[in-house]
Amino acid sequence: MSTTFVLVHGACHAGWSWRPVAGYLRAQGHRVYTPTLPGLGTEDTKADIHLADSVDYLVDYVEKRDLTDIVLVGHSWGGFPVSGASIRLATRISRLVYWSAFVPQTGESLIDLCPPAYGDMFRASAAASTDNSVTFPFEVFCAAFMQDASPETQRIVYPLLESQPFHTMNESLDLDEWERLQLPSSYVLSKDDLALPPGEFGWAPRFTERLPGAPVIYTPGSHESQLTQPEPLAAALVEAAAS
């Protein structure tokens, strides 16, 4: 049975990061869309991009293509635009899937949900930039985001990352309606994901508990499993879609 997936990338990434996963899904007959959200294109301006712009773009992307019965997947920061957009796309969504993703509530920004040291790092990076954007240090990316890749692969992938508009990280959304809707949801978690440290700030059970009754599906690899373990991740997304 064919499923329509809309795969939403995380911070500093773009649609290209889903190519390996999209390839496996399409080979199984699924339709796959991989939008690049505002401020994350190679020539996009960043200073005046806000979190609401990401939501608006995602809604417009789905509506312009008249996509229906979709599985809307958010990775990491992508949980924010996915949650916000789902309110306006509710009749077009068959299931929400959060993969190693933030599941925000009203008034919470990404910085609010990260360890304080991350917030300090993001603010300092934005202040030092010329366009109010955030860049992950290479050492942090290698050790916490893509530790399951070879040094050569890490050096290839890192330059492909874009700096993230700071407003998309320090702003929040009104998600009261998202919480009321209780759309069918699943949570996929990469087993070796260290982007958020285990414990108080870990992905689970903190965010899985915000999706009552949602199945939790585990997949191998790091926070960058879409690049390091794309075939198992694709299988996990298919399982999540069918839950």
Mean pLDDT across 187-194: 97
Residues 6+ apart with CB under 8 A from 142: 151, 154, 158
**How does residue 177 score in pLDDT terms, banded at 50, 70 and 90?**
very high
Cβ contact 21:233 at 8 Å: yes
pLDDT of residue 243: 86
CA distance 28 to 3: 10
Mean pLDDT across 189-206: 96
CA distance 21 to 32: 9
CB atoms within 10 A of CB 75: 29
Q: In terms of pLDDT, which residue wins out, 198 or 10? A: 10
Q: Give the pTM.
A: 0.97
pLDDT of residue 118: 95
pLDDT at 83 over 90: yes
What's the distance, Cα to Cα, between the start and end of the chain in Å?
Answer: 14
Mean pLDDT across 53-74: 98
The structure tokens listed for 159 are: 């330059």
Cβ contact 120:99 at 8 Å: no
Q: What is the mean pLDDT of the chain?
A: 97
Q: Tabulate helix, strand, coil % of the chain (nearest 5).
A: 45, 15, 40
31-33 sheet: strands from edge to edge: 31-33, 4-8, 70-76, 93-101, 185-190, 216-219
pLDDT of residue 87: 98
pLDDT of residue 84: 98
pLDDT of residue 1: 81
pLDDT per residue over 108-142, tens digit each?
999 999 999 999 999 999 999 999 999 999 999 99
CB atoms within 10 A of CB 202: 15
The structure tokens listed for 9 are: 């990338």
pLDDT at 48 over 90: yes
